Structure 1
Amino acid sequence: MSNGTVQHKIADQVSTVTFYHPQSNSLPGALLRELAATIEAAGNDPGSRVIILQSEGEKAFCAGASFDELVAINDMETGKVFFSGFAAVINAMRKAPKFVIARVQGKAVGGGVGLASAADYAIAHESASVKLSELAVGIGPFVVGPAVERKIGTAAFGSLSINATEWQSAKWAADRGLYAEVHTSIEGVNEAVTKLANKLAASNPEAMLELKRVLWQGTDHWDQLLLDRAMISGRLVLSDFTRAAIAKFKGK
Structure 2
Amino acid sequence: MNFKNILSETSNGIATITINRPEKLNALNKDTINELHQAVKKADEDASIRAIILTGSGEKAFVAGADISEFSDFSVSEGGQLAAQGQAVLFDFIATLSTPVIAAVNGFALGGGLELAMAAHFRIASENAKMGLPEVSLGLIPGYGGTQRLPELVGKGRAFELIMTAGMIDANKALDFGLVNHVVALEELLPFTRTLAEKIMRNSPMAIAAAISAVNAGYEVGENGYDVEISEFGKCFGTADFKEGTQAFLDKRKAAFTGK
TM-score by structure 1 length? Answer: 0.80
> 1:105, CA displacement in angstroms?
0.8
1:82 maps to what in 2?
82
Give the whole-Å Cα distance in 2 for the aligned partners of 1:112 and 1:149. 16
> Which structure 2 residues correspond to residues 161-240 of structure 1 after superposition, within 5 A?
161-164=163-166, 166-183=167-184, 185-219=185-219
2:237 maps to what in 1?
none
Q: Deviations over 1:9-50 (max 9, x none)?
A: 222111111112121110111211221232122222212011
Q: Which amino acid letter does the alignment assign opposite residue 19 of structure 1?
A: I
> 1:219, CA displacement in angstroms?
4.8
> 1:196, CA displacement in angstroms?
0.8
> 1:220, CA displacement in angstroms?
5.2
Contact kept, 8 Å, 1:29 with 1:85, in 2: the verdict is no
1:148 maps to what in 2?
150
Contact kept, 8 Å, 1:131 with 1:167, in 2: the verdict is yes
Contact kept, 8 Å, 1:117 with 1:148, in 2: the verdict is yes
Q: Which amino acid letter does the alignment assign opposite residue 169 of structure 1?
A: D
CA-based RMSD: 2.0
Give the whole-Å Cα distance in 2 for the aligned partners of 1:86 and 1:175. 29
2:233 maps to what in 1?
none
1:45 maps to what in 2?
46
**Radius of gyration: which is bigger?**
2
Give the whole-Å Cα distance in 2 for the aligned partners of 1:7 and 1:77. 32
Structure ranking higher on relative contact order (CA contacts 8 Å, 6+ apart): 1
> 1:110, CA displacement in angstroms?
0.6
Give the whole-Å Cα distance in 1 for the aligned partners of 2:35 and 2:76. 23
2:65 maps to what in 1?
64
Give the whole-Å Cα distance in 2 for the aligned partners of 1:34 and 1:77. 24
> 1:124, CA displacement in angstroms?
0.6
Q: Which amino acid letter does the alignment assign opposite residue 155 of structure 1?
A: G
Q: Deviations over 1:181-230 (max 9, x none)?
A: 001x22221221111111222221122112212221245569xxxxxxxx
- Report the number of matched residues: 217
Contact kept, 8 Å, 1:32 with 1:85, in 2: the verdict is no
Q: Which amino acid letter does the alignment assign opposite residue 82 of structure 1?
A: L
SS at match of 2:169: coil
Q: Structure 2: which 5+ residue stretches go unaligned?
A: 223-260
SS at match of 2:178: coil
Give the whole-Å Cα distance in 2 for the aligned partners of 1:66 and 1:182. 27
> 1:61, CA displacement in angstroms?
0.9
Q: Structure 1: which 5+ residue stretches go unaligned?
A: 223-252
Contact kept, 8 Å, 1:106 with 1:128, in 2: the verdict is yes
Give the whole-Å Cα distance in 1 for the aligned partners of 2:221 and 2:56. 28
Give the whole-Å Cα distance in 2 for the aligned partners of 1:35 and 1:93. 10
2:19 maps to what in 1?
19
Give the whole-Å Cα distance in 2 for the aligned partners of 1:94 and 1:117. 8
Give the whole-Å Cα distance in 1 for the aligned partners of 2:40 and 2:151. 22
Distance 1:121 1:10, change over 3 A: same
